Every structure is written in structure tokens, then in C-alpha cells.
Amino acid sequence: MTPTLLRGRLLSFHRAPLSLADSQSYLYQEDGGLLIEDGLIASVGTYADVKAKAAADVVEIDHRPHLILPGFIDMHLHFPQMQVIASYAANLLEWLNTYTFPEECRFVESAHAERIATHFYDELIRHGTTTAVAYCSVHKTSADAFFAEAMKRNMRMVGGKVMMDRNAPQGLLDTPEMGYHETRQVISDWHGKGRNHVAITPRFAITSTPAQMEATSALAREFPDLHIQTHLSENHDEIKFTCELYPQAIDYTDIYARYSLLGPKSLFGHAIHLSEREADVMSETASVAVHCPTSNLFLGSGLFPLKALARRDKPVRIGVATDIGGGSSYSMLKTMDEAYKIQQLLGERLNPLESYYLMTRGNAEALSLADRVGTLDPGTDADLVVLNAAATPAMALKLEAVKTLPEELFLLQTMGDDRAVAETYVAGVASKKTLQANLQKSADLPIIS
């Protein structure tokens, strides 16, 4: 592949920023150059320096005055819930039973799963998300569709066939044996193929019998390098029901601990209402709490104490995510806008540098994948997002008043969405423009560049 040289304003984090003034925590290159070779970032620096080192036949793409960042990472969402978004329900359990479970039953049909998988990746790319951690449905067909489409697009994806054997419609239930064997099959079919990562995925303790939790535990022992994803402590009624189902456990977190499901590759969606004891255990096991702000507000689940968990003596590792379709937007910018507002309601500050760290390097570290994605470091995958802070007339007007980089980032987070994503690169390939051109072609519209 011919090398590509991108020119633009580069931003990439070295570590979590300690304050808004912590300019040591990131690289910012005003007139930056980023060289892509064979899908990887080959070099980064000033445009002049990178250009001087590049081959004579390098293809140049000028993104000035836009920002070039590592592609966004979404740590938790449900691929079969694209048609569940915007469902009117009083709370989590009503929403699951009324809309979500019936919709997920449809994914037994591979044609449906394949159709939704196409839309799923289109939406991620349109919103600048290049890596995501997804739940499929209980059906192996859904995992096959999910991973096949990821491979076609050459995207780095984490996903899993959901395991669930009770408290849901018959069409959504497996058994401990089926869940175990089909998960093993998904691992052997897809893990490590292309850029795919398979996650062991018991939906949550309510929908898994103790026998299925044992099967999950066996998978975790057999495949210790795989991610594990599940839900934890999202809603008060859910917590009460869960603890009734596992009366021997001290609390919700203890249920997962009893099956050895806590650890540095374990991702717990929501984790809003943890006790001090649970937060200690999460910290001691290096487990990750995944904050899903638009979902938590939409379902009225609660206010995630992100800052309080991060500054404990025993800090909890944190990721951020959309949680489509409990979440209401595919945009990680909108996600961090809502995360900011939740901290405001808790009397805390979440500054824009922290937000952009979380969406990129922070989530990559939470996934133990920072050596591959989440930064602009040479040698890592060229998965990138290009952001335009003047994407709408209202944003352009506000931008006139912006004086600093954090102000621009905050404007993008507060007012931006997919319209602010000028381009998305997947393994070095400009994918958003291609997608839009294809959409226009299929609609037989004139292509506007």
C-alpha cells in the first residue's frame, strides 16, 4: 500500500491528565504530520520533519485546520439493540422485558443479524469510533455476523456471544452446556482472526443460573487472556432481584467474585451503586467499571461517581461507553457531554482533557490494548478520527470565541456529534468519506465532496 501522510493538528495522550494545565500529559502538534504505512502509524511529528523522511511518492492528505486524534473507543454497547434505541420505558427491567429481549430474539436469523451488523459498523465509522466492545445476542449467528463484518472492515473489535439461561423469553435462552460450547466455538472461529477479540459474555447474574456461572468460570480459566464482560449494579430493583437470586453472596460484586470472574480483563457495565466494599474489591482485582452516561440518564439508573471512584485510596479503573441501545447516542462526544453533566450534578468537575483521554488512551488502557490503539504512537494501528470544531453554523460561531485547545475540545464535546467527524481512518484507510460516497451512489444522488 502506498504510504499516506496526513497533515493536521495532532493530539494524543501519554497518560491521564492531572489538571487542565497538565500539558505534559499529551502531545499536541499544531502543524503535525502523521505517516501511515501498511495500516500502522509509521511516524509522527511536525509536518516538515515527517515529510522530509517520507518517500517521494507519499500520498498527502491535508486535514488542516482539523484535529487528528486516535479513533474513539466505545467500551460497552449492544449490537442487537440498534432498533431498541429510543424505547420509552420506566426503568431497566421494564425496558429489557418490553423491548430489548423481544428484539434480540430476531437475531436467530442470520439474514437479520448480517443486515444489522452492516448498519452497526456504518454508524461506528460515521461517529469516529474505531474500536468497540460489544454484546451480541445469545445466538451464535449474531456473533458470526458481528465478527465477519468486523473482518470485512478490518476493524479492531471485541465482542461476545451472550450467555443467558433464565429470566428471559425462551427464544433467548441457551443452557450452561450450550453457552459453554458455543462460546468455545465462537472463540475458535473468530478470536485472533483479522483484528477480532472474543469476550466471554455472561449477560448478568439475573439471566444466568449458578450452573451457567460455573460454565462461565470454566471458560475464564481455560482462556485467561480473554476479556470478560457483564453488567453490575445498574439499578436498585436489579440489585435487589440479583441478590435474592444469589442469597449466599455478600453483595452483587461478590456473586461474580465467587465464580472468579473479577480481574484486569473483566469489564463491568454501569457499576453505579457500588458499596465501599465492592469498590475495594474492584480495585484490588484491577477490574474495570464501564461508565455509560447516556444510558444511565435515559433509563434513570443513577449518577455514576466517576471522580469519587478514580480518586479513592484504592482507585477503580474506569472506561466510558455508549451502551447502545439503553444509551441514546452512538457519539462518544455526546457520551462525554453527558458524563460531564453527571459529574456536575454530583458537584464534581470532569475537564475536557480528561474526557478526551478517557475516549482514547484511557479506554485502550482499560482494555489492556494501549500497545495497539488509543494513541498516535508509532507502531500502533492507524485508527484515527479527524474532528472539525466548526461543523455546524452554531459551532463555527462559538469557535470564533475559542482561545485554547481545551476550550476547543470542550466545544466539540458539548456541541459536536457525527457532524463533527470529518473523517475516520480504519487501519490507515479513510472510511467515512467512502461510506458517504457509497450511500450517495446507492441513493443515486450527485456526490458532493
Return the number of the residue (92 or 117) whose C-beta is nearest ligand GUN.
92
Least separation in angstroms between CB 326 and ligand GUN: 3
CB of 411 to Zn ion, least distance (A): 30
Q: Are 377 and 35 in contact (CB under 8 A)?
A: no
Residue 269 found at the interface with Zn ion (CB under 5 A): yes
Q: How far apart are CA 91 and CA 300, in angstroms?
A: 6
Q: Which of 373, 341, 336, 328 is nearest to 358 (CA)?
A: 336
245 or 435: whose CB is closer to ligand GUN? 245
Which positions ≥6 away from 436 have C-beta within 8 Å? none
Site string for ligand GUN, 176-205 (x = CB under 6 A): ---------------------------xx-
Least CB distance to Zn ion at residue 100 (A): 9
SS3 105: helix
> Contact 356/16 with Cβ under 8 angstroms?
no
Q: Choose the stretch contacting ligand GUN; rule: CB under 6 A; options: 60-68, 92-100, 210-218, 339-347.
A: 92-100
Which helix H or strand E contains 36, and what residues bound it? strand 26-37
DSSP letter for each residue of 367-417: TT-TTTSSS--TTSB--EEEE-TTSSHHHHHHHTT--SHHHHHHHHHHH-S
Q: 321-350 mask for Zn ion (x: CB under 5 A)?
A: --x---------------------------
DSSP states along 138-167: SSHHHHHHHHHHHHHHT-EEEEE-EE--SS
Binding at 104: pick from ligand GUN, Zn ion, none (beta carbon under 5-8 Å per type)? none
* Interface with ligand GUN, residue 92, by CB under 6 A: yes
Measure the CA–CA gap between 317 and 92, rounded to whole angstroms.
24
In the list 37, 278, 323, 417, the residue contacting ligand GUN (rule: CB under 6 A) is 323
Residue among 72, 1, 70, 5 nearest 36 (CA): 5
Report if residue 231 touches ligand GUN, rule: CB under 6 A.
Answer: yes
Q: Binding to ligand GUN (CB under 6 A): which residues in 248-307?
A: 295
Name which of Zn ion, ligand GUN, none residue 165 binds, using a CB cut-off of 5 to 8 Å depending on partner kind: none
Q: Which is nearer to ligand GUN, 20 or 303 (CB)?
A: 303
With contact defined as beta carbons under 8 Å apart, do 282 and 272 qualify?
no
Out of Zn ion, ligand GUN, none, what residue 197 binds, judged by CB under 5 to 8 A for its kind, is none
Where along the sequence are the contacts to ligand GUN (CB under 6 A)? 78, 92, 96, 100, 203-204, 231, 234, 295, 323, 326
